[in-house]
Amino acid sequence: MRKIRTYNQISSRGLDRFSRDSYEVGSEIAQPEAILLRSHKLTVDQIPDSVNAIARAGAGVNNIPIDECTHNGVVVFNTPGANANAVKELVLAGLLLSSRGICEGMQYVQALTENDPAILNKEVEKGKKAYAGVELTGKTLGVVGLGAIGANVANMALELGMEVIGYDPAISVEAAWRLSSDVQRAENLGALLAKCDYVTLHVPAIEATKGMINSEALSSAKQGLKLLNFARGEIVDNDAMLAALEVGKVARYISDFPSLELLGNDKVSLLPHLGASTVEAEENCAIMGANQLVDFLENGNIKNSVNFPQIRMERTHGYRLTFANDNVPKVLSQVLALLADMNINVIDLLNKSRNDIAYTILDIEQQPDAQLLAAVAGVEHVFHVRAV
């Protein structure tokens, strides 16, 4: 039986992808071959040597120690785009919440104690002026990060009649294809902030983005900016944000990532990390993550990994082994020479690389035994070998 250790609540539609005959899946499993999780902050000591793969049912992988995984040959997957629509819809709610007195108006109505319908109606009509807002149509939205979510948000905002300016220095070709040509391009973050009434963040939490919304960035913002953060808390410097709210530079901060210093500020609206919490997104992410794990564990194929190359080879009639190595010359030729010396015929092979690592799928005539696996593992620069 293959063992999968789960963390967090994973949709049963995804867990059903692991056939009961071949997989044992649960949150108490010891020595798993793979881990399937959502936002659980995974520590190195929670990744035993038995683990070959980790799937994040979601987009952000800042809760996984990627470098250590790569070093140990552990393939890390995420599920790009699987929850993008859910986040886009909540961004729409965020835009409306920051524009109209929706929550405040609801609180006002809820606090009314009047029993007479006519007087109640009078109070409603008298009170509403305190909660008037502005419309989105005609305003300018800045979208920082134009990947799966950002592109969806940008296109949606155009349909709402907003002007849209995007900033993404590392935009992928696929993301650029998804984006409407009506989205204007900002050369840098400061230029975007200077022109926008609303800014929404959709970048991953990486070194380059942590604290990118700091006092310097906010100083270039238009007075009265409404900032939406459905990306990660650490992308915004909260002290700088509180100072900008104090002087009205930022009129409203909507964030999916509560933190102590933000609690209780009436210009800040906090949600409990709800961006991807829809039935549909949870199912999409769990199904995609589980499918990727199954294909990797059973065939060695890799799709949507954040640390290993994309690779897929059709099964042949032979036996399969896979290995990962430092991306340096002569490793593959040494493994092939070793097979030749052992008189083992190769049926098919595929080799791909990504940055510093290479990964090979090799179909051979003979079932790989412990001696062969140890011999491949012994080739200099090979750091992970698996019979699949």
Ligand X SMILES: O=C(O)[C@H](O)COP(=O)(O)O
Ligand Y SMILES: NC(=O)c1ccc[n+]([C@@H]2O[C@H](COP(=O)([O-])OP(=O)(O)OC[C@H]3O[C@@H](n4cnc5c(N)ncnc54)[C@H](O)[C@@H]3O)[C@@H](O)[C@H]2O)c1
Q: Count helices and strands (H / E) in the chain.
A: 13, 16
Candidates 59, 189, 203, 321; binder of ligand X (CB under 6 A) is: 59
Six-digit token string for 219 = 């100083």
Q: Report the residue closest to ligand X, judged by CB.
A: 58
CA–CA dist 80, 69 (Å, integer)? 19
Candidates 36, 75, 171, 385; binder of ligand Y (CB under 6 A) is: 171
Binding mask 241-260 for ligand Y (x = CB under 6 A): ---------------x----
Q: Who's near 257: CB < 8 A, 6+ residues apart? A: 229, 232, 233, 270, 273
Q: Which of residues 102-121 bind ligand Y (CB under 6 A)?
A: none
Q: Who's near 301: CB < 8 A, 6+ residues apart? A: 295, 311, 312, 313, 361
Greatest alpha-carbon span in the chain = 95
CA–CA dist 134, 140 (Å, integer)? 13
CA–CA dist 300, 315 (Å, integer)? 10
CB under 6 A: which stretch of 6-14, 169-177, 310-318, 346-354 binds ligand Y? 169-177
Catalytic (active site) residue 232:
yes
Q: Is 72 in the site for ligand X (CB under 6 A)?
A: no
* Residue 181: its H or E element: none
Question: CB 342 → ligand Y: shortest distance, Å?
Answer: 43
Q: Who's near 22: CB < 8 A, 6+ residues apart? A: 1, 2
CB-based contact 47:357 (threshold 8 Å): no
Site size for ligand Y (CB under 6 A):
34
Catalytic (active site) residue 13:
no
Question: CB 280 → ligand Y: shortest distance, Å?
Answer: 13
Q: 198-201 and 225-229: which strand pairing?
A: parallel
Q: Is 60 in the site for ligand X (CB under 6 A)?
A: yes
Beta bridge mates, 26: 5
Q: Is 305 in the site for ligand Y (CB under 6 A)?
A: no
Provide the 3-class DSSP secondary structure of residue 6.
Answer: strand
Question: CB 302 → ligand Y: shortest distance, Å?
Answer: 17
Residue with tokens 């409990």: 272
Q: Is 87 in the site for ligand Y (CB under 6 A)?
A: yes
Q: Is 200 in the site for ligand Y (CB under 6 A)?
A: no
Residue 63 interacts with, from ligand X, ligand Y, none (CB under 5-8 Å by kind): none
Angle between helices 370-377 and 331-341 (to 10 degrees): 150
Residue 39 interacts with, from ligand X, ligand Y, none (CB under 5-8 Å by kind): ligand X
Q: Which of residues 273-302 bind ligand X (CB under 6 A)?
A: 273, 275-277
Q: Is 275 in the site for ligand Y (CB under 6 A)?
A: yes
Site size for ligand X (CB under 6 A):
10
Candidates 146, 221, 228, 262; binder of ligand Y (CB under 6 A) is: 146
Q: Which of residues 2-61 bind ligand Y (CB under 6 A)?
A: 58-60
Give exposure, 153-188, as e/b (b: 16+ Cβ within 10 Å). Answer: bbbbbbebebbbbbbbeebeeebeebbeeebeebee
Q: Given 40, 71, 100, 273, which residue is catalytic?
A: 273
CB under 6 A: which stretch of 163-171, 180-188, 337-345, 354-362 binds ligand Y? 163-171
Q: Is 213 in the site for ligand Y (CB under 6 A)?
A: no
Smaller CB separation from ligand X, 60 or 142: 60
Return residues touching ligand Y (CB under 6 A). 58-60, 80, 83-84, 87, 144-150, 167-172, 175, 202-205, 208-209, 230-232, 256, 273, 275-276
Catalytic residues: 232, 261, 273
- Footprint on this chain of ligand X (rule: CB under 6 A): 38-39, 58-60, 83, 273, 275-277
